[in-house]
């Protein structure tokens, strides 16, 4: 039983991300065969200039061809429950039915609780007591699928998540917003950083929605960007 630290790895991505998107964009407007466009693709700057125009005009099908797979470890079930709400992501998650948490529950402590020694201690006492009861149920022959009923939202989980680039941008736009919970923000940030390592041009898109669109549509805004309603008022 231990507190666990987030780990995010990009384990699969296409070889020619820019060239693939460029070919998709250009195929729409060219008499050439797609394979000719692919083989004759210009240098990165030229490809990017077309790609940026196409994406900013909302022609998003062109970025759906890029499929990315992440291995995500040590996130709470509270966090994964939020992630699985995104319907264009495919998941394979560690099962609490089949995996028995031998030696106690691994868990994630939210940062704000961790910052208080007193609250952290109470949190850990609760996890220890829950772990003991979980083990007692297993020892009594209760199947893991039923014993798990008492596991907390803080229980650590791992999953594989596959999504296309359009969905990653959408995920980043929603979940990097300060209105999102800190744990999922940090997880999505780590996913974006993995991609930006080799595709630095994506750093303009893998941002909170306010930065991408130039306004905030949240009711309880953090105030760092002009609100949508203020923009609309100015237009009347």
Ligand X SMILES: Cc1cc2nc3c(=O)[nH]c(=O)nc-3n(C[C@H](O)[C@H](O)[C@H](O)COP(=O)(O)OP(=O)(O)OC[C@H]3O[C@@H](n4cnc5c(N)ncnc54)[C@H](O)[C@@H]3O)c2cc1C
Site residues for ligand X per CB under 6 A: 85-88, 167, 170, 174-175, 179-180
Of 176, 167, 180, 181, whose CA–CA distance to 207 is shortest?
A: 176
Of 14, 22, 20, 72, nearest to 47 by C-alpha is 22
Of 147 and 187, CB closest to ligand X: 187
**Which residues are CB-contacts of 218 (< 8 A; sequence separation ≥ 6)?**
177, 179
Residue 16 CB, nearest distance to ligand X (Å)? 26
Residue 231 beta carbon to ligand X: minimum distance, rounded to whole angstroms: 20
For residue 109, the minimal CB distance to ligand X (Å) is 21
The number of beta carbons lying within 10 Å of the beta carbon of residue 103 is 10
Q: Among residues 77, 166, 175, 185, which one is catalytic?
A: 175
- 87 counts as catalytic: no
Of the two residues 26 and 175, which places its CB atom closer to ligand X in the complex? Answer: 175
What's the rounded Cα separation, in Å, for the pair 111 and 120? 10
Query: Measured between alpha carbons, how far is 117 from 163 in angstroms, rounded to an integer?
Result: 38
Q: Distance of alpha carbon 61 from its chain centroid, rounded? A: 20
Please say which residue, 2 or 222, places its beta carbon nearer to ligand X.
222
Q: Which is nearer to ligand X, 82 or 157 (CB)?
A: 82
> Residue 172 CB, nearest distance to ligand X (Å)?
11
H/E element, 80: helix 77-83
223's enclosing H/E stretch is none
- Other C-beta atoms closer than 10 Å to the C-beta of 61 total 12
* Residues annotated as catalytic (active site), given as ranges: 175
């Amino acid at each position: 039983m231990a507190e666990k630290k987030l780990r995010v790895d990009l384990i699969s991505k296409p070889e020619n991300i820019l060239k693939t998107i460029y070919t998709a964009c250009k195929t729409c407007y060219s008499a050439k065969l797609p394979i000719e466009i692919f083989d004759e693709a210009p240098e990165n700057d030229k490809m990017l200039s077309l790609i940026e125009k196409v994406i900013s005009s909302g022609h998003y099908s062109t970025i759906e061809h890029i499929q990315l797979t992440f291995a995500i470890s040590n996130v709470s079930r509270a966090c994964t429950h939020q992630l699985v709400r995104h319907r264009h992501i495919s998941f394979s998650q560690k099962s609490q039915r089949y995996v028995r948490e031998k030696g106690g529950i691994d868990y994630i402590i939210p940062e704000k609780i961790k910052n208080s020694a007193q609250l952290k201690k109470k949190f850990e006492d609760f996890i220890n007591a829950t772990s003991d009861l979980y083990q007692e149920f297993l020892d009594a022959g209760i199947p893991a699928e039923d014993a798990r009923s008492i596991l907390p939202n803080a229980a650590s989980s791992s999953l594989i998540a596959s999504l296309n680039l359009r969905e990653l941008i959408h995920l980043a736009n929603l979940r990097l917003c300060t209105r999102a919970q800190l744990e999922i923000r940090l997880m999505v940030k780590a996913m974006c950083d993995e991609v930006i390592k080799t595709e630095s041009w994506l750093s303009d898109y893998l941002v909170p929605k306010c930065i991408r669109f130039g306004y905030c549509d949240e009711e309880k805004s953090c105030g760092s960007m002009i609100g949508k309603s203020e923009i609309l008022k100015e237009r009347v």
